Chain A
Amino acid sequence: MAIELKDVENIAHLARLQLSPAEQQEAQNSINNILHMIDQMQAIDTAGVEPLAHAYEASQRLREDVVTEHDQRDVLLALAPNADRGLFLVPKVLE
């Protein structure tokens, strides 16, 4: 499969990446090369094969419902690029 420039635009939007026209062009070329390599696997017959999501097939461990974390707001908000009055700030979102 090969992707077009509009696919690059769509992917970049889904992934929230700003790309210049030159970067889009470069992305289209390199992604198509990668897809070409990936498409090799289409040659394998995988009919009836169960997809494998985890190498080690175990089951999820359940945690006890206990509060173990405590308020660290001051420490954590200090990591934020923009925070005020206990809130993380982003440019105004209009709904």
Chain B
Amino acid sequence: MEWETVIGLEVHVQLATASKLFSGTSTRFGAEPNTQANVFDLALPGTLPVLNGKAVEMAVKFGLAVGAQINRKSVFDRKNYFYPDLPKGYQTSQLDHPTVGKGTLTITMEDGSTRTIGITRAHMEEDAGKSLHEEFPTDTGIDLNRAGTPLLEIVSEPELRNAKEAVAYLKKLHSLIVYLGISDGDMSQGSMRCDANVSVRPKGESKFGTRAEIKNINSFRFVEKAINIEVARQIDILEDGGKIVQETRLYDAVKNETRSMRSKEVANDYRYFPEPDLLPVVIDEAFIARIKATLPELPDIKSQRFQSQYGLSPYDANVLAADLHVAAYFEEVAAGCGDAKLSANWVMGDLQAYLNKAEIDISKSPIASTALANLVSRIVDNTISSKIAKAVFEAMLNGEGSADEIIAAKGLKQVTDTGAIEKVVDAVIAANPKQVEQYRAGGEKVFAFFVGQVMKESRGKANPVQVNEILLDKLTAK
């Protein structure tokens, strides 16, 4: 039987506020345990929540960016359950009246095709603390620094059809939140966490199959793996005549498997009810207008502009526009050298390859955008060839100086003196009579051999365009 996969994602994004959702405690990452857990965060008796306005602004900003309905009145609810990382015994969240309603997100696949995925809602809620199970032999230690950090939970419609789409959706979402400045998007610090609802159904069936919720998938790579392994598991069960159990499963990246979270087997009854310590959040037109005015140019718009302004292909434009910092870097290089297409090739090619390998973010690139612009300029003005430029690039990474300095120090300036090139060409022709004969007998493939020889003799410095012209001239002249 042919199966269709149905995936819906719930993504928790940590909002980049300075203070917590309901208290004036810092949200800075990496502090000593419990040094960022104050009286409200610890749920001491008599303490009360006051909503952080910045978190509301960020939620609205996200909503506007995905074309969502911004609810004029949203309500916080208490979600009740006991766990040591949840000090109040309830999580303050938004159940029936989230701040952000229905919106959409357009994803681009590797083949350049696009799909628009529905966003069901996005709501604000508090993060929980952390349980440390390894520190003590018989106890679990509780660090509540993270408790109360604002989260935006973004829920997608079950419209994703395979793991690659899920990854594309997450990447797009990641790109967007960083663009909007509402999150640092640092997945290694848990700034973006994903739960996936996965089910399968026979192709053509309209009813959804029973879904499993996979928790704890915190990188793009694991999302793809976790979904694929879960889909395979479900298909195996169904094809063996079994049934899928609706449950929460944990992804184990080490074993590359999902397994049932037995501790949550007993159905939770969260007993949601409206949080009496907080009043409804009312968002008026003026508030929305003010946030709208702060929206940056978003990835889709930017990609369009890159295509029209710089003549980039849709694929290149999408790749460059996807990351706010990459896009800015690219535009700086293009402005500095005047050749956008060449700049795009360099940013997406050699630079990105190096950064990926070295695991460095472009904002911390050892070669600044102005330095790369300098290098590309030398290709544009024919000082060096593209091939020499790669060597200069390597030297720049080695810290040997700027492109101009390296070209001068190593004498890499391209030879454009026709006389000098002719001399080399003559020598090469004289030294290879056999190949000359072959060429003249119609063996045009041998032409590349001559180009290679000339470039070799000139140690790559001869201008390749001139080499071609002169060679053609001399080989056909006699």
Contact = CB atoms under 8 A, between A and B. Distances in A.
A and B touch in the complex (CB under 8 A): yes
Interface of A: 14, 16, 53-54, 58-73, 76-77, 79, 82, 84-95
Contacts of A71: 35-36
A44 B358 CA distance: 70
B26 interface: yes
B53 A72 contact: no
B18 A67 contact: yes
Given A59-B281, A87-B34, A69 B25 contact: yes
B140 A90 contact: yes
Given A53-B276, A89-B136, 15 more contacts: A54-B276, A59-B279, A62-B56, A64-B53, A68-B19, A69-B24, A73-B34, A73-B37, A76-B38, A76-B42, A82-B139, A85-B141, A90-B84, A95-B261, A95-B263
A73 B18 CA distance: 19
A68 B24 contact: yes
A76 B39 contact: yes
Contacts of A63: 24, 50-53
A86 B34 contact: yes
Given A60-B280, A65-B17, A76-B39, A87 B142 contact: yes
B38 A90 contact: no
A22 B57 CA distance: 53
A68 B19 CA distance: 8
Interface string B315-345: 0000000000000000000000000000000
Nearest to B73: A59
Interface of B: 17-19, 23-26, 32-40, 42, 44, 50-56, 73, 75, 80, 82, 84, 131-133, 135-136, 138-144, 250, 261, 263, 269, 271, 274, 276, 278-282
A86 B33 contact: yes
A93 B131 contact: yes
Nearest to B283: A59
Contacts, number: 128
Main SS of chain A's interface residues? loop
Contacts of A88: 34, 84, 141-142, 144
A91 B51 CA distance: 33
Given A60-B281, A90-B142, A66 B32 contact: no
A87 B271 contact: no
A59 B281 CA distance: 6
A65 B38 CA distance: 16
23 contacts: A14-B269, A60-B278, A60-B279, A60-B280, A62-B51, A63-B24, A65-B18, A65-B52, A67-B26, A68-B19, A69-B39, A72-B39, A73-B37, A76-B34, A76-B39, A87-B34, A87-B132, A87-B143, A89-B140, A89-B141, A91-B139, A91-B140, A95-B250
A82 to B, nearest CB: 8
The 9 A-B residue pairs with the shortest CB-CB distance, nearest first, are A62-B53, A68-B24, A87-B141, A65-B54, A59-B282, A69-B38, A88-B142, A60-B279, A89-B139
A67 B271 CA distance: 32
Contacts of A70: 38
B134 to A, nearest CB: 10
Tell which of B34, B42, B135 has the most Cβ of chain A within 10 Å: B34
Interface centre among A61, A65, A76, A89 (most CB of B within 10 A): A65
B19 A66 contact: yes
Contacts of A65: 17-19, 52-55
Contacts of A87: 33-34, 132, 135, 141-143
Contacts of A84: 136, 139, 141
Given A59-B282, A88-B144, A95-B263, A72 B84 contact: no
A60 B250 CA distance: 37
Nearest to A58: B279
Given A58-B279, A65-B17, A95-B133, A89 B269 contact: no
